[in-house]
Structure 1
Amino acid sequence: MSLDKALAVAQSEIPECVATGYVDMVSGMLLGVKTVDSHPGEVLDLVAAATSDLFQGKNVVEIERLFDKSRGITGRNHHYFNEIVVFSSNLIHVYVRSKRNPDHAGVFVSRIAANIGMVLVRARAAMTHCEAAAN
């Protein structure tokens, strides 16, 4: 399945989903996107940059380093932040780090009326298809 197809399936299966995307956090590029509305390229570019900041921003990396240090973990690139949920005034934004490639993340955006439990369950399931398609 192609990444575009995986994102389209995710959008159809996640409750009240208005947008899906898949981000390469190293390059800062949005590798794929599916939305119900059209958005300017600058907005989509910012989504990719924001996703990268959420998972790999300076302070997040430092927190993860300190967690490793306090647990006696050395020489391993381990990530503690794997899922981030942001509630805005009218949307639920779910960011999921790829298990296959920790430098990739899925972005799933649903209307605020959606059941958050179902959004999370379906976003996690969709992520496995997106990961397979991106590799």
Structure 2
Amino acid sequence: MSNLDSAIQAALSTIPECLAGGYVDLTSGMLVGVKTVDSHPDEVLEMLAAATADLFQGPNVVTIENMFKKSRGLDLDDYHYFQEIIVNSDNLIHIFMRTRTEQNHVVCFVCRRSANLGMALTKARAALPGVEAAL
């Protein structure tokens, strides 16, 4: 896991105003790796995997994905239509991205709200291959 931790740490240093990064396995529901600039209660970190699973695999999301796939003529059971989800809160930007090689793995980054969203997303996308290769 030290490779994953190092890759997440490297990503944090390139993404503007990035405060945390994590790697979630949706199949197992586990937070596989996490790096933060501040300490957070374990309960919060443990909920990250569950919340990420809800975002990408909640029943309504799956229904919408299936409707989009059907309307576009896609008949791929293991393909997920939603690849990235961005959540803006009062103080933070949360970027969630499925990995390219494993559709049930998601990398998430948390940045200050003052970060340029376009730049944060661009840098997060650029960091994704390095993080997913580390697992």
Does TM-score exceed 0.5, indicating one fold? yes
Matched residue, 1:88: 89
CA separation in 2, counterparts of 1:85 and 1:96?
9
Unaligned stretches of 5+ in structure 2? Answer: none
For 2:96 and 2:133, the matched residues in 1 are separated by 17
Q: Structure 2 counterpart of 1:85, which letter?
A: I
Which residue number in structure 1 is paired with residue 134 of structure 2?
133
Distance 1:117 1:75 in 2: 30
Aligned-residue offset at 1:84: 0.7
Q: Distance in 2 between matches of 1:82 and 1:72?
A: 18
Match of 1:11 in 2: 12
The equivalent residue for 2:75 is 74
Q: Which amino acid aligns with 1:121?
A: T
In structure 1, give the amino acid aligned to 2:132.
E
TM-score, normalised by the number of residues in structure 2 = 0.94
TM-score of the superposed pair, with normalisation by structure 1 = 0.94
Give RMSD over aligned pairs. Answer: 1.2
1:2-81 correspondence to structure 2 within 5 Å: 2-81=3-82
Count residues with an aligned counterpart: 134
Q: Which runs of 5+ in 1 are unaligned?
A: none
C-alpha deviation, 1:75, in angstroms: 4.7
Partner Cα separation in structure 1 for residue 115 and residue 26 of structure 2:
27
